[in-house]
Amino acid sequence: MAEELEPDSASANPPELPELPKLAHELPAPEDYLPGTPWWIWGLIGLGVILLLALLIWIIKRTLKDAAPPLQPQKNHYAIASASLTRLETDCGDKPLAQVASNASFAIRGYLAGVKNEPALYETTEEFKARNPSLPLAVTSLLDDLNDAKYAKSTIDESRARDFLTRSQSLLHTLHSAAELPEPAVN
C-alpha cells in the first residue's frame, strides 16, 4: 500500500531530450548592419508630437468657444398656472374639494417656483408663511383655506370649489402683475 502512494520515479523525472545540433554559423546582431539613429531625429519626433498635441488642443478650444450654448426655452409660468386653474373650473363639480384645493395650491406654488425661484413646491403652508412674513392677508387667507380643504374630510362642494378657484385666479393675476413691475432703481 505504501508503494502505491509513492510517485513513480520515471514520471517524476522526464527523459532527457537530445541536444539540438549547433548551426554552422551564428546570426549577427542587426545593430552591426543598421546605422544608429542620430539624436536630432529623436528631437524632431518629440517636437512633432508636442506640436501635434498643441494643434489638437487649439482646435478643441476654438470649437468649444465658437459653439453658442443652447438656449433654454422660457416657460410662460403664468399661462401654465392659469390654464391649470381654468381646467379645474370646468370639472370642479365632479371632483372632491380636497383634490380641487390641492391642484389649485399646486398651480400657485408652481407659478411661484417657476417665476421667483421659490421653494414653495417643497414647503408646507406654514413654512412658506413663516419664511414670507410680509405676505398680504388675501394670500395667507387663501393658502390657509386651501390647506384646510386639502386635509379635511373630502366631499364634493362645487360652490366652495368655484370660490377657491376664483380666489386662486385673482391671486395668480395679482402675483403676475406684481412680477411684471420694474424694480426701483437703487441710488
H or E element in which residue 163 lies: helix 158-180
**Rounded (10°) CA dihedral 128, 130, 135, 137:** 100
Q: How many CB atoms lie within 10 A of CB 108?
A: 22
Dihedrals φ, ψ of 110, to 5°? Answer: -65, -40
What is the 8-class DSSP label of residue 107?
H
DSSP symbol at 91: T
For residue 81, tell me if it sits in a domain: yes
Residue 7 covered by a domain? no
Residue 35 domain-assigned? Answer: no
For each of the chain's 187 residues, which pLDDT tens digit applies? Answer: 455 555 555 556 767 888 877 766 777 777 777 777 888 988 999 999 999 999 999 998 888 776 666 656 678 889 999 999 999 888 888 889 899 999 999 998 888 888 878 787 788 888 888 887 877 788 888 888 998 988 888 888 888 999 999 999 998 888 888 766 454 444 4
Q: What stretches of 67-96 show up as alpha helix (H) in DSSP?
A: 77-90
Q: Which three cell numbers stand for residue 104?
A: 389649485
Q: Which three cell numbers stand for residue 110?
A: 408652481
Kindly state the cell numbers that stand for 159.
Answer: 360652490
Q: Residue 110's domain spans which residues?
A: 77-178
Residue 128: which region, alpha, beta or left (left: phi > 0; alpha: psi -120 to 50)? alpha
**Residue 110 is assigned to a structural domain of this protein:** yes
Q: Please indicate, yes or no, if residue 185 is contained in any of the structural domains.
A: no
- Residue entry with cell 381646467: 87
The Cα–Cα gap between 25 and 22 comes to 8
Q: How many domains does the chain have?
A: 1
